[in-house]
């Protein structure tokens, strides 16, 4: 299986690069399309439809390839994969819940292949990302391979997922791969170091933590991280928090899951997280990131390559937008480190939540995490 990446500032630039590749004899069958919300995705959709190329697409805050960050552009990762080895499935959350939609996707995957892997992009919903994990696991089992991210911008939390003839601003798109034909190996890695002692959530409701160790959650967060917010308007009741200090939550079956703190309510002293954190959950705060965070991600891929997956045909990366906010320009070092490890075409985007498994764990929904996956035809 051969892969090629394309990056452009317009659909016209993408067309020119695609035409050249096809003229040189390359015949892609599948395109991963990650593009800025500032771009017109229907133009790219029409272009790929004209060439008969299957589309796995999403609009995002920012995308990248091994060549670098697109800077409000369009990125494509093309594969000449055998069409019998994959299936694209779209589900609209307006028709059924994320949990039900994920279960239906799992059923489709299992009816298509005896050993499926699920690569997913979804829009942000009112339901926690865990519901997508649970929906797939209920049908496919806890040891299933699930990797992906939530698409959308960082302001309105809106995005679009699209395939050849279908799109939605409230749905999920899944690429089901036949693992008997395509090797799929990936990890979800954070690198943030723990801070302080173990804490316990003593009262929560939905995405809001009200008390930690029977103290107002906001008071505990401020004690450990300082009054660090991204909203300087003192009149606002709901204030956006800095994403530098995610919670490191202990999960019995899946190990440590990173959950960012997103907002605080100055009246109720509650803190809103990126997913539900039920009462009784134990966690630790995180230290601000340094270069060790980058080294941990890059080393995870090197270890996999050296020990049990020496070659790849292509690489996909779903990296939390919180990493971009926290690491700033250093995020390019992380992306280039992954690219140098595999030395193959890659594509990805900065996501609003990540799906994947830490080493030795089962799939989970994460935050402030880099979820990467290497693909190779057997």
- For β-strands 370-377 and 314-320, DSSP reports them as antiparallel
Distance between CA atoms of 364 and 353, rounded to whole angstroms?
10
Q: What is the pLDDT of residues 92-139, one digit of tens each?
A: 998 889 999 999 999 999 999 999 999 999 998 766 788 999 999 999
How confident is the model over 335-350, as a mean pLDDT? 96
Helix axes 41-50, 11-23, angle to 10 degrees: 20
How confident is the model over 73-87, as a mean pLDDT? 97
How confident is the model over 338-343, as a mean pLDDT? 95
| High-pLDDT (> 90) share of the chain, % | 64
3-class secondary structure, 366: strand
Most confident by average pLDDT, 37-46, 113-122, 235-244: 113-122
Q: What pLDDT does residue 232 have?
A: 52
Q: What pLDDT does residue 238 have?
A: 63
3-class secondary structure, 372: strand
Q: What pLDDT does residue 246 have?
A: 83
Q: What is the pLDDT of residues 181-235, one digit of tens each?
A: 999 999 999 988 888 889 999 999 988 999 999 999 988 888 877 655 555 555 5
3-class secondary structure, 349: strand
Distance between CA atoms of 361 and 366, rounded to whole angstroms?
13
Least confident of 164-168, 215-219, 272-276: 272-276
Q: What pLDDT does residue 281 have?
A: 92
Query: Taking the domains of the chain in order of start, what are their residue ranges?
Result: 3-189+291-377, 194-286
Quick one: which of 368, 150, 371 has its CA closest to 259? 368
Contact 375, 184 (CB under 8 A): yes
């Amino acid at each position: 299986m051969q892969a090629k990446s394309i990056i452009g500032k317009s659909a016209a630039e993408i067309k020119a690069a695609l035409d050249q590749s096809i003229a040189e004899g390359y015949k892609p069958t599948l395109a991963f399309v990650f593009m800025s919300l500032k771009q017109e995705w229907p133009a790219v959709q029409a272009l790929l439809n004209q060439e008969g190329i299957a589309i796995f697409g999403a609009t995002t805050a920012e995308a990248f390839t091994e060549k670098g960050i697109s800077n409000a552009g369009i990125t494509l990762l093309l594969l000449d994969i055998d069409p019998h080895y994959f299936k694209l499935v779209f589900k609209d959350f307006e028709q059924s819940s994320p949990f039900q939609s994920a279960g239906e996707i799992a059923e489709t995957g299992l009816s298509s292949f005896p050993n499926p892997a699920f690569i997913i992009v979804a829009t942000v919903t009112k339901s926690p990302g865990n519901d997508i994990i649970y929906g797939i696991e209920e049908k496919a089992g806890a040891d299933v391979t699930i990797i992906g991210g939530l698409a959308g911008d960082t302001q309105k939390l809106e995005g679009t997922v699209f395939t050849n003839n279908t799109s939605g601003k409230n749905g999920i798109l899944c690429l089901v791969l036949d693992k008997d034909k395509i090797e799929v190996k990936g990890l979800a890695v954070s690198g943030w170091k723990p801070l302080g002692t173990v804490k316990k959530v003593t009262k929560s409701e939905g995405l809001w933590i009200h008390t930690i160790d029977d103290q107002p959650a906001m008071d505990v967060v401020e004690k450990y991280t300082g009054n660090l917010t991204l909203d300087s308007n003192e009149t606002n009741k709901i204030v956006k928090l800095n994403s530098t200090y995610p919670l490191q939550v202990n999960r019995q079956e899946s190990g440590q899951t990173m959950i960012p703190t997103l907002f605080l309510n100055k009246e109720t002293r509650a803190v809103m997280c990126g997913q539900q954190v039920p009462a009784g959950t134990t966690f630790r705060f995180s230290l601000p990131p340094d270069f060790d965070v980058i080294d941990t991600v890059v080393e995870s891929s090197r270890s996999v390559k050296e020990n049990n997956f020496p070659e790849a045909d292509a690489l996909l990366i779903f990296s939390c937008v919180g990493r971009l906010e926290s690491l700033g320009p250093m995020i390019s070092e992380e992306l280039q480190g992954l690219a140098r490890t595999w030395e193959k075409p890659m594509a990805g985007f900065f996501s609003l939540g990540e799906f994947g498994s830490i080493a030795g764990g089962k799939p989970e929904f994460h935050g402030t995490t880099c979820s990467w996956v290497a693909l190779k035809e057997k």
